[in-house]
Amino acid sequence: MLELPRIMGHRGAAGRAPENTLAGLRAAADMGATWVEFDVMLTKDRVPVLFHDDNLKRTTRREALMVETPFAELSSVEAGAWFAPKFAGEPVPSLEMALALALQLGLTPNVEIKPTAGQDEATAAAALEVIACCWPAGRPGPLISSFSRASLEVARRQAPDLPRALIAWRLPRDWSKAAEALACCSLHIAGNRLNAKRVARIKAAGYALAAFTVNEPKVARKLLGWGVDCIITDKPDTIAKAIA
Ligand code: G3P
Ligand code: MG
């Protein structure tokens, strides 16, 4: 069974550095995180990059859709200044850049496949190709996670040996059937939709369980007390201190 860490940085360490950036990965590692979650979507020319929204606006101030932006154009886009001036100049990283840095920093990535509508298969396929090229076979991970069952199905076929996680805001009625069909080893559920009974059911079925996005120490302690394995958080330092 997959061994998740107790704490995983969310979008890098989104409460401490701009989300889904190399600075975010460094911040997570500096805070002692050993794993980070980040989101992966495709540019117009199908390069997998770390990004959360369909539109670039919120984190780059550029009004454009990622699906209409070629990778080369991202070189004139910066994804750090919106968060704090000291991060100005931070690029939107390719998945390849992020994996290289994760290796250097000793971080295990949880690669969330985050497809734009209609790109579920293509996003997973392209991300898995990059992982096959860039991530050493002997190293644990990456974990491939997604809300998209179609993306996870591609992962199951294309990279059967990589661990998979089904993400959902609330535990879906058919979670057990879906997790089994996709051969997932882990479920990632919104922390505020979990309760002791649901946690017990998931754990009794043999799955690893992560809760997102949990930034409150009290909530993290409660979830861990119920048996949640991993807290996905924007503030790995705060949560680490709270559960030490
Ligand atoms: O991986 C769990 C979490 O990241 C899912 O939500 O929207 O932050 O990608 P979101
Ligand atoms: Mg995510």
Residues contacting ligand 1 via CB (< 6 Å): 10, 37, 39, 52, 112, 145, 167, 188, 212-213, 232
Element (H, E) at 20: none
Distance CA 87, CA 85 (A): 5
Distance CA 212, CA 167 (A): 9
pLDDT (tens place) for every residue of the chain, 244 residues total: 679 999 999 999 999 999 999 999 999 999 999 999 999 999 999 999 999 999 999 999 999 999 999 999 999 999 999 999 999 999 999 999 999 999 999 999 999 999 999 999 999 999 999 999 999 988 988 999 999 999 999 999 999 999 999 999 999 999 999 999 999 999 999 999 999 999 999 999 999 999 999 999 999 999 999 999 999 999 999 999 999 8
Phi, psi dihedrals of residue 222, rounded to the nearest 5°: -65, -45
Indicate which residue's Cα is closest to atom 4 of ligand 1. Answer: 10
Q: How far is the CA of 126 from the centre of ligand 2 (A)?
A: 17
**Which residue blocks in the chain are alpha helix, DSSP H?**
22-30, 57-60, 95-105, 120-134, 149-158, 175-181, 196-204, 217-226, 236-243
Q: Which ligand is nearest the CA of 210, by number?
A: 1
Collapsed DSSP state (helix, strand, coil) of residue 30:
helix
Could you give the count of Cα atoms lying within 13 Å of 81 in the half-sphere of its Cβ? 8
**How many angstroms separate the alpha carbon of residue 213 from the centre of ligand 1?**
7
Pocket test for ligand 1, best of 7, 37, 229 (most atoms within 8 A of CB): 37
Judge residue 46's burial from the number of C-beta atoms within 10 Å of its C-beta, 0-12 exposed, 13-18 middle, 19 or more buried: middle
The domain 7-41+95-243 having CATH identifier 3.20.20.190: the answer here is yes
Domain ranges within the chain, ordered by starting residue: 7-41+95-243
Q: What is the position in ligand 1's atom list of the atom closest to the CA of 114? A: 9
Question: Contact 174/180 with Cβ under 8 angstroms?
Answer: no
Helix (H, G, I), strand (E, B) or coil at 38: strand
Show which residues are catalytic.
10, 52
Residues β-bridged to residue 145: 112, 165
User: φ and ψ at 217, to 5 degrees?
Assistant: -50, -45
